[in-house]
Amino acid sequence: MADNHGSVLLEIQDNIAIVTLCRPEKLNALTPFMLGELNRVADEIEDTPSLRVAILTASGNRAFCVGADIGIWSSLAPLDMWRKWVRKGHRVFDRWAALRIPVIAAINGHAFGGGLELLATSDIRVCDSTATFALPEAGIATCPGWSGTQRLVQLIGPGQVKYLALTGIRMDAQRALDIGLVQEICAQGDVLNSALALAEKISTQAPVAVQLTRQIIDAGLGNDTAMTLEALAGALSATTRDAKEGMASFSERRKALYQGE
């Protein structure tokens, strides 16, 4: 069966990227093809230096994303489930969580399973008043597979995740706000405008400072700590006079005269 279900669209407005899951007839359920598209879009965002903020949203007004397309993943052989589904999803979601620029999730409707795990990769989350959140996997004899038991725990705590994952209960927007899963509730139909307003505010700040602040907050939580330390150390050392001397001495094939400054 050809895997060409759904799409992921990228629109650039000035220095803001708007990324839209486009499969409203299936409540934006994710397929392997869409995971690949999310990865492709992440590449494009990373390769566009002018971008300062990304917004992740979805088409339609019923659902942000109801998770994995059960009809597709349930037909996979066990090894393909591991190779093409769980591992691929983790790689893509980790990529979104580690983007250079901040990500705002604009949640229009239901966010279940993988959809909830996807929005957890963002930095700021806004939802409309009708949004609901759930981890329904146990009800179909499986488990959260795209970091719901890891990244989501880091975001709202183990008790809240167990409450969702062990019961399958749907959490409403107000409860999500109360526990810090979302930062704003908007009127129905206004969530993208609210996300754009936040993105525009962020884009007026110093972009390098914004990106570094995001990175060190995540590093303090244990995410990509080694990469962050090495990147910051490398950037700091590159600003020194010794760095210029090192490059000059190498190109001139002479011994470097370092001054410790």
Sort residue 143 into left (φ over 0), alpha (ψ -120 to 50) or beta: beta
Neighbours of 258 (CB within 10 A): 13
Q: How far is CA 9 from CA 53, 75, 140, in A?
A: 16, 27, 30
Cα–Cα distance between 72 and 89 in angstroms, integer? 14
Tokens 């990147």 — which residue?
A: 231
Of 11, 30, 29, give the one whose Cα is nearest residue 20: 11
Which member of 137, 200, 245, 252 is catalytic?
A: 137
What are the residues whose beta carbons fall under 8 Å from the beta carbon of 41, sequence distance 6 or more?
Answer: 8, 10, 19
Of 27, 11, 30, give the one whose Cα is nearest residue 19: 11
Cα–Cα distance between 219 and 229 in angstroms, integer? 8
25 counts as catalytic: no
Task: For residue 8, give the 3-state DSSP assignment.
Answer: strand
Which member of 25, 37, 44, 117 is catalytic?
A: 117
46 counts as catalytic: no
Cα–Cα distance between 33 and 26 in angstroms, integer? 14
Q: Which residues are catalytic?
A: 117, 137
